[in-house]
């Protein structure tokens, strides 16, 4: 069985890490380079860096900040924000990103998924989908949740997979920042619909929420921000708890000391 992954997310605005509730009321959460280094050294299985203002403000992702983060970590690094071309991806990969995440640009130009997957490989392309329930239906939103589309979450996710995406990052806008748990019913439905990994995002508040999204939501990875940034949950403690709950998880070598004769 593949191990589940724990992924801190750095939402970046004006060069700082920020966090809000339901995509609103952003507050400062620290220096992204320092946070990235801390997570890399303390058991994170990957890192997601999203320049949340890049698309809205028509700016390119801050490549120099990406480079600074990449130089401090040794875990898989996914970068998103303002990516709309092959050239954008090349800049980010050259600055240390392992994968790129596209969102609004994929909806506006679905063929971009095909082009990027063909050029860089599916394993390099993550499509982020922000959605919320409206009249009982999960609808995709753009521009940091500000623009409603007619796209159905599950239909769009399947198209994304067929076009060559290697992974989906699904954020429930209804759950984002609430700390009331992940959108496990929607995640489980995505899991039965798709054959590519799904990262759960939005709603982490307790260690049990992570257990629930792996067991009930069938997520392949769980992403969180504020519970990690503000030290409400440490990744070491979380992984210990997940092991107790029978969730397959990668444990850093130093935490395994004392086993296998070490």
Check which CATH number belongs to the domain holding 203 and give it: 3.20.20.70
> Per the structure block, which two tokens stand in for 38?
């801390």
**Interval 123-153: pLDDT, tens:** 999 999 999 999 999 999 998 778 999 999 9
Measured N-to-C along each axis, helices 235-244 and 207-215 cross at an angle, to the nearest 10 degrees, of: 50
Catalytic residues: 11, 130
> Could you identify the residue written with the tokens 């850093």?
252
Domain total of the chain: 1
pLDDT at residue number 28: 54
> Per the structure block, which two tokens stand in for 75?
């875990």
Structural domain of 216: 5-260
One-character DSSP codes across 208-239: HHHHHHHHTS--SEEEESHHHHTTSS-HHHHH
**Interval 188-200: pLDDT, tens:** 999 999 999 999 9
Helix, strand, coil content of the chain in percent (nearest 5): 35, 30, 35
Q: What is the pTM of this model?
A: 0.90
Would you write out the chain's pLDDT as a tens digit for each of its 262 residues? 689 999 999 888 877 777 554 444 555 557 888 889 999 999 999 999 988 765 544 455 568 889 999 999 999 999 998 899 999 999 999 999 999 999 999 999 999 999 999 999 999 999 999 999 999 999 999 987 789 999 999 999 999 999 999 999 999 998 877 789 999 999 999 999 999 999 999 999 999 999 999 999 999 999 998 899 889 999 999 999 999 999 999 986 654 433 333 3
One-character DSSP codes across 83-146: --SHHHHHHHHHTT-SEEEE-HHHHH-THHHHHHHHHH-GGGEEEEEEEEEETTEEEEEETTTT
Nearest to 189 by CA among 210, 150, 166, 216: 216
């Amino acid at each position: 069985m593949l191990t589940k992954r724990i992924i801190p997310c750095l939402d970046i605005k004006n060069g700082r890490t920020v966090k809000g509730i339901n995509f609103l009321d952003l507050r400062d959460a620290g220096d992204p380079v320092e946070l990235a280094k801390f997570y890399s050294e303390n058991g994170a299985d990957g890192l997601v860096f999203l320049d949340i203002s890049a698309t809205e403000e028509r700016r390119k992702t801050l490549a120099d900040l990406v480079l600074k983060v990449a130089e401090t970590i040794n875990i898989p690094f996914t970068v998103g924000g303002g990516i709309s071309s092959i050239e954008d991806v090349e800049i980010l990969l050259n600055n240390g990103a392992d994968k790129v995440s596209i969102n609004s640009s994929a909806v506006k130009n679905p063929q971009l998924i095909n082009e990027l997957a063909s050029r860089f490989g599916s394993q390099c392309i993550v499509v982020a989908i922000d959605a919320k329930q409206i009249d009982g239906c999960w609808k995709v939103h753009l521009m940091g949740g500000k623009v409603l589309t007619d796209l159905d979450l599950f239909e769009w996710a399947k198209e994304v997979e067929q076009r060559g995406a290697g992974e989906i990052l699904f954020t429930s806008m209804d759950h984002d920042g609430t700390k009331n748990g992940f959108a496990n019913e929607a995640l489980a439905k995505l899991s039965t619909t798709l054959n590519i990994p799904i990262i759960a995002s939005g709603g982490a508040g307790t260690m049990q929420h992570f257990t629930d999204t792996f067991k009930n939501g069938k997520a392949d990875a769980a992403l969180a921000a504020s519970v990690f940034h503000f030290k409400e949950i440490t990744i070491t403690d979380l992984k210990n708890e997940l092991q107790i709950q029978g969730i397959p998880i990668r444990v850093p070598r130093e935490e395994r000391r004392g086993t296998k004769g070490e």
